[in-house]
Structure 1
């Protein structure tokens, strides 16, 4: 799709996408950011857009997914201690501190992954997206999603076990 065709087919959708994003985000700034990112992604996929039956439906789906990502990021990045306490009925202060340390450790490990693996792992394991949804959002094929997810999980497991073993050795010394 050339620039002229993009201007005719995609840019007129901007207002509709913006209205939808405002309803989902309840923030004009976040809605503007989401639509801007969707339009950028559509521009980057302009050569593939002709394979979709409805560019509008594709754009709306992208907007929806991006707004949901923004919402999830805002509501899942920092788990307050109260939620950890609610999740553990026999939450002694020591146990709550251990859980908080485990959450911090897992965040650090996940944040140390390469960007694509980190994104895919968060979307699949934390935000519970389906593989096809992740593929649509990231532009990767489903096999690449599965492969990156497998590598990410393996790396997280290795680092986690290594860290735990180091802690045990330190405590025994």
Structure 2
């Protein structure tokens, strides 16, 4: 499918996908993000779209799954303190707070990654997808998945270590 055909066939579905995504998400911005991600996936799969009986049905399914994935990520973010408390019930409030701060820091670092790296890292390290599954979903090749994952992990590690080192230096000064 070439650009012209894509514009004629897929882009008119945007309004319908957005309406559906708004019903599944809490915020209009999340719906916009989901639809944008779906359109990107459809563009990356444009050469294979002719094999689907209904491109609209495929796009709606992608939208549904993307919104569900977004909901799962948000749900996991909100449960982090509960997980910390369950993992170390004997910890002092100060220790629990430090662990929660570490988890929040990791979420911030991961959220600062470029979109593709963040998506791949979450799919691989948090949700447990295999490389081939991620490649199929994102439309990237397995080598690109491994490369982006490696870069993302390295960046997270470097930012984390810099942040921790900065906190230690500030404690020494105080």
TM-score (ref. length: structure 1): 0.69
Corresponding residue number in structure 2 for 1:44? 43
Q: Deviations over 1:97-152 (max 9, x none)?
A: 11011011111211222221112111211122221222122211111011000011
Aligned length: 164
Q: Deviation of residue 46 (structure 1)?
A: 5.9
2:164 pairs with 1:164: yes
Alignment check: 8 A CA contact 2:38 2:63 kept: no
| Aligned twin of 1:153 | 153
- Segments of 5+ residues of structure 1 without an aligned counterpart are none
Secondary structure of residue in 1 paired with 2:78: coil
Q: Is the 8 A contact 1:49 1:55 kept in 2?
A: no
Contact kept, 8 Å, 1:121 with 1:153, in 2: the verdict is: yes
Q: Where does residue 140 of structure 1 map in the other structure?
A: 140
Gaps spanning 5+ residues in structure 2: where? 26-30
Residue 85 in 1 paired to residue 85 in 2?
A: yes
Structure 1 residue 172, shift from structure 2 partner: 2.5
In structure 2, the CA distance between the partners of 1:28 and 1:41, relative to structure 1 (3 Å rule), is: same
Residues 149/3 of structure 1: CA separation in 2 closer, same or farther (3 Å cut): same
State how 1:59-98 maps to structure 2 within 5 Å.
Answer: 62=62, 65-98=65-98
Instruction: Quote the Cα distance in structure 1 between the aligned partners of 2:67 and 2:133.
Output: 14
- TM-score w.r.t. the length of structure 2 is 0.69
Q: Aligned partners of 1:119, 1:161: CA distance in 2, in Å?
A: 22
Change beyond 3 A, Cα 1:156–1:137 = same
Alpha-carbon distance between aligned partners in 1 of 2:167 and 2:37, rounded to the nearest angstrom? 44
Shift of 1:69: 0.9
Q: Deviations over 1:23-44 (max 9, x none)?
A: xx9x9445xx599668735652
Asked whether the equivalents of residues 41 and 137 of structure 2 are also in contact (C-alpha less than 8 Å), the reply is: no
Report SS of the residue matched to 1:129. Answer: coil
CA RMSD, Structure 1 to Structure 2 (Å): 3.9
Structure 2 CA distance, aligned partners of 1:109 and 1:38?
Answer: 21
Is the 8 Å Cα contact of residues 120 and 148 (structure 1) preserved in structure 2? Answer: yes
